[in-house]
Chains A and B, each alone.
Chain A
C-alpha cells in the first residue's frame, strides 16, 4: 500500500520549504509516515539502517540455531527454539517496515545474499559451547536492547512501531540467557569455567556491537538530527558496561578486562581501549564465520525455492478451480 518510487537526489535540488517543514515536524517529535514527503537522503539512510537491522535479526538466528539440536534438555530446547523464532519474526517486522520506503523484499534479500548489505558483526563469531547461548542472550541481546529502546522513538513511524514490538520480546531473550549463565555459574567447577570462557569470548565483540567510537562514526550527526539515532555509540556502550558489570559480579564471573574499574568521579566504569581494528576486519568480511554465515543463508534460500514455487502453483490451481466452478 505504501510503495513509492525512490527519488533520485543526484543533481536534483529539494525544495527548501519542504525540507524546512520536514525538519520542523521531526523537531516537534511528530512521526514521518510512508507516504509523507521526505528527503531522498533520509529515505536512503533509513533503508540502509533498517535493512542492516533486519539482516542482523535473520543472520542472528544462525549462531544459536547451531545449538537447537544439542540443547541440554527439552526445556532448554523449547526456549531456544522460541527465541530463534522470535528473531525470525524481528527480521520480518523490520523488512516489512523497510518495504514501506519503496524497496522490494527481493531486492533486500538479494543485497544480503550477494554480500552487498551488511549485518551486525557479532554474528560472525562462533558458538562452540552451550554457555555461548547464555552469553549471547545476556550480552548480545542485552546490547541490542540498549540500541533498540531509543529506536522506539525513531522519527520514522513504521520503524518505531516495529521496535516497540521487538523490545517487548527482547527482554525474554536477555533473561533466558542470564538464567543459563546463572545455572552454569552455580554448577560444577567445569560448568562455571565454561560460563567464564563464553563471557571471555563474547565480551569484546558485544562492546563492538555499538559501532566505532564517536570520533570515527561517520553517520552520527545527521542521524541524530533526523532522530533515527538518539544516543552516540560511546554513550550507549558505556550505559551497557555500567549495567552489565554488576550482573557479572553477581554471578562471580570476571569481565575479561584488567583495566575495568569503577570511577567514583565520573559515576561510570573505566575500561580498556577497544580494538576497533578487529571490528573493521569483521565488517570487511574477515571475521571467523563470515563465509559460513552467508553460505548458510544462500543455501537456505536455494533450498526453499521449491516451497515458494509450490505455493505459487497451488495458488494458481486453486484460482483456476474456482474459476471453472463458477463458469
Chain B
C-alpha cells in the first residue's frame, strides 16, 4: 500500500491572528488530517482553529522568479507615506 495523502496544516493561534503554516502530515482524508493535526500540532493549546489543505492543491510562485516577481515593488517609493515631506506645522499627518 502506498503512503497516505500529504496535507499541509495551518493553525490560528488565537482569535484575531492569521492561520499560519506549521507543517504537514499524512492522512486518508481531510477529516483524519484534522484529527491528526490536532494531536500533532496543538498538544499545548497552540491553536483555536485548524485548516488542512491537500498539499498538491496548493499552487506556489516559483522561487527562481523571485526577483522578476517581487523586485518591481522595490522602486515604487511613492507608495509609502514617507515619500511625501510635510511642513512642520502639519507633520503629524
Co-complex (A, B): yes
Q: State the A residues within 8 Å of B (CB).
A: 1-3, 33, 35-37, 82, 85-86, 89, 92-93, 96-97, 99-100, 104-106, 158, 161-162, 165, 169, 305, 308-309, 311-312, 314-315, 318
For residue B58, which residues in chain A have a CB less than 8 angstroms away from its CB?
A: 1
Complex CA gap A161/B23 in Å reads 9
Q: Residue A96 contacts which of B1, B2, B23 (CB distance < 8 angstroms)? A: B23
Contact call A97/B23, Cβ cutoff below 8 A: yes
A35 with B28, Cβ < 8 A, contacts A106-B3, A162-B23 known? no
Interface residues of B, count at CB 8 A: 27
Q: How far is the CA of A311 from the CA of B39 in the complex (A)?
A: 17
Nearest B residue to A106 via CB reads B3
Closest 6 CB pairs of A and B: A311-B28, A315-B28, A315-B29, A1-B58, A1-B55, A106-B3
The reply to whether B4 and A36 contact each other, CB–CB distance below 8 Å, is: no
* Contact for A99 among B24, B41, B56, B60, CB less than 8 A: B24
With A and B bound together, what is the CA distance between A169 and B29 in angstroms? 28
Q: B26 near A: Cβ within 8 Å?
A: yes
Q: How far is the CB of A93 from chain B (nearest CB, A)?
A: 6
Task: Quote the shortest CB–CB distance from B45 to chain A (angstroms).
Answer: 12
Q: State A311–B31 Cα separation when bound (angstroms).
A: 11
Check if B6 is an interface residue, CB within 8 A of chain A.
yes
Alpha-carbon distance A12/B23, docked complex (angstroms): 32
Taking CB atoms, residues of chain A closer than 8 Å to B26 are: 105
Find out whether the CB atom of B8 lies under 8 angstroms from the CB atom of A1: yes
CB neighbours of B79 from chain A (8 A): none
Contacts of A315 in B (CB 8 A): 28-29, 32
B36 CB, min distance to chain A CBs, angstroms: 9
Question: In the complex, A246→B58 CA distance in Å?
Answer: 51
Among B6, B23, B60, B63, the most chain A Cβ lie within 10 Å of the Cβ of B23
B88 sits at the interface (CB 8 A): no
A100 closest partner in B (C-beta): B24
Question: Is A106 in contact with B28, judged by CB distance below 8 angstroms?
Answer: no
Interchain CB contact under 8 A, A96 and B62: no
Asked whether B64 lies within 8 Å of A92 as measured between CB atoms, the reply is no
**8 contacting pairs across A/B (C-beta < 8 A):** A3-B55, A37-B64, A96-B25, A105-B3, A106-B3, A311-B28, A314-B29, A315-B32
Question: Is the Cβ of A1 less than 8 Å from the Cβ of B4?
Answer: no
Give the CA-CA distance A155 to B8 in the complex, in Å. Answer: 22
Complex contact B62–A35 (CB within 8 A): yes
Q: Is the CB of B48 closer than 8 A to any CB of chain A?
A: no
A104 contacts B3, CB within 8 Å? yes
Asked whether, in the complex, the Cβ of B25 is within 8 Å of the Cβ of A311, the reply is no
Partner of A35, one of B4, B24, B29, B63: B63
In the bound complex, how far is the Cα of B29 from the Cα of A311, in angstroms?
8
> How far is A169 from B23 in the complex, measured between Cα atoms in Å?
16
- Whether B43 is near chain A, meaning CB under 8 Å from some CB there, is yes
Q: A92, B25: Cβ atoms under 8 Å?
A: yes
If the complex has contacts A1-B55, A85-B43, are A36 and B63 also in contact, measured as CB distance less than 8 A? yes
The complex places the Cα of A165 from the Cα of B55 at a distance, in Å, of 21
Min distance, Cβ B6 to any Cβ of chain A, angstroms: 7
A308/B4 in contact, CB under 8 A? yes
